[in-house]
Amino acid sequence: MKTNRIVILFAAVSISALSGLLTGCDRQISHSETSSTSSDGTVKSKEKTVTQSPDGTVTKTEGSSTTTTNKP
């Protein structure tokens, strides 16, 4: 009885590990970052990333942020 549980547990772990290996990870096609600083000390940053999933789907991600510095 205990042996059957061990065999079932081993089979379940093996199947889940195999499915993780077969799906793969996203592949990064391109990545760019730009930043600019204005005269008042504000820094604007933009980031663009293009990734491709194993099934061929292409995803574009864009982000931006603004940082201000406090000058005394």
Q: Is the pTM of this model over 0.75?
A: no
What are the pLDDT digits (tens) for 2-48? 677 888 888 877 777 665 555 667 788 899 999 998 888 889 999 99
- The distance from CA 33 to its chain's CA centroid, rounded to whole angstroms, is 16
**From the centroid of its chain, how far is CA 54?**
14
Helix (H, G, I), strand (E, B) or coil at 40: coil
